[in-house]
Amino acid sequence: MTIELSKEEFAYLLAAVEATSLIGVEDPKLFPADARSRKTIYRKGREQLEANGWLTPLEDHQDEHELNADLFHLTAAVAEASYVLGTSVGATKKGRRWLLHYLAGEHIIELWLTQAKSYAFRVVPDRESLIERVAEVLEVDHSTNAVTLTLDEKTFKKIVNLASKGQEKQASELLETNGKVGSSIIQALSGKARAQISLVQASVGEIQVGRRASVYGTGKAPWMVWREDEESEQLNIAACDADHLSQLLSKWIEQFPS
């Protein structure tokens, strides 16, 4: 089931769980800065929640209302998530689309901004479904390619530069991988990264540490590129598919401090 909320409704709920920020979302309307704006937005949010049946009057308690428990817990889980997985698709900032997943204990909540500029939520049942959803958004197919390469950043940039100029032979010599695999990687790197995947560890709504991978290429031959850690000058390259995505996500979580 998908729940769709206006910005005012979501702002009211975030205030109800005492959240002061939300990782992955930069929307001043959710956290109004001045008292006048807060009063206006929260009033509208409350009215809309009542109208939509999320906030209901308590019997025998005049002027008291009860907030839907499931919606309250969903909002709390989003605000208090231990990990936030962000998937963005689009080579330009203007055309970029974001999908966010908040992992809080056993709960996984998906959040996105609709075309109508409202916030939509749904619960993802498990980690496998999460990976399948990310693969769906990235429009990647299952792959049997188990090749993983490691390059220093300087060499990687040279390969990208050569590939973008159509100099595949020179790029292949630097890549040191021939055949279909090498050709697939170089073809993917000839264009800009079309998507990004990022995972951050959070505490009290603040980012503690994070990892990021870039996705190049489309169709049956997409590749993802990432660093082992922020300090590393080595880049890893692997096929972007559900299996590698699952492995990468698990590895990132293991690397984060406990």
User: Would you give the distance in Å from CA 68 to the centre of its chain?
Assistant: 27
Query: Which region, left, alpha or beta, applies to residue 94 given φ > 0 means left and ψ of -120 to 50 means alpha?
Result: alpha
* Residue bearing the bigger pLDDT, 227 or 204: 227
User: Percent of the chain, pLDDT > 70?
Assistant: 94
Helix axes 153-164, 168-175, angle to 10 degrees: 160
- The answer to whether 57 touches 49, Cβ cutoff 8 Å, is no
Cα 17 to Cα 161: distance, rounded to the nearest angstrom? 49
Cα 83 to Cα 85: distance, rounded to the nearest angstrom? 7
The predicted model gives 179-192 an average pLDDT of 88
Band of pLDDT at residue 212, cut at 50, 70 and 90: very high
3-state SS string for 72-100 = HHHHHHHHCCCEEEEEEECCCCCCCEEEE
Position 92 scores a pLDDT of 67
pLDDT over 70 at 61, yes or no = no
Residue 82 phi, psi (nearest 5)? -85, -30
User: Percent of the chain, pLDDT > 90?
Assistant: 59
Cα 99 to Cα 112: distance, rounded to the nearest angstrom? 5
pLDDT over 70 at 62, yes or no = no
The predicted model gives 173-182 an average pLDDT of 81
Burial annotation 27-50 (CB, 10 A radius, 16+ → b, else e): eeebbbeeeeeeeebbebbbebbe
CA atoms within 13 A on the CB side of 48: 17
Position 241 scores a pLDDT of 87
The predicted model gives 144-171 an average pLDDT of 89
- The answer to whether 19 touches 79, Cβ cutoff 8 Å, is yes
pLDDT over 90 at 161, yes or no = yes
Q: What SS3 state is found at 128?
A: helix
The predicted model gives 63-81 an average pLDDT of 90
Cα 97 to Cα 90: distance, rounded to the nearest angstrom? 6
- For 94-143, the pLDDT digits (tens) are 777 899 999 998 999 999 999 899 999 999 999 999 999 998 898 887 66
Least-confidence region, from 70-74, 178-182, 221-225: 178-182
- For 186-198, the pLDDT digits (tens) are 999 998 899 999 9
- The answer to whether 202 touches 102, Cβ cutoff 8 Å, is no
The predicted model gives 154-160 an average pLDDT of 93
Residue 117 CB coordination number (10 Å): 10
Position 204 scores a pLDDT of 75
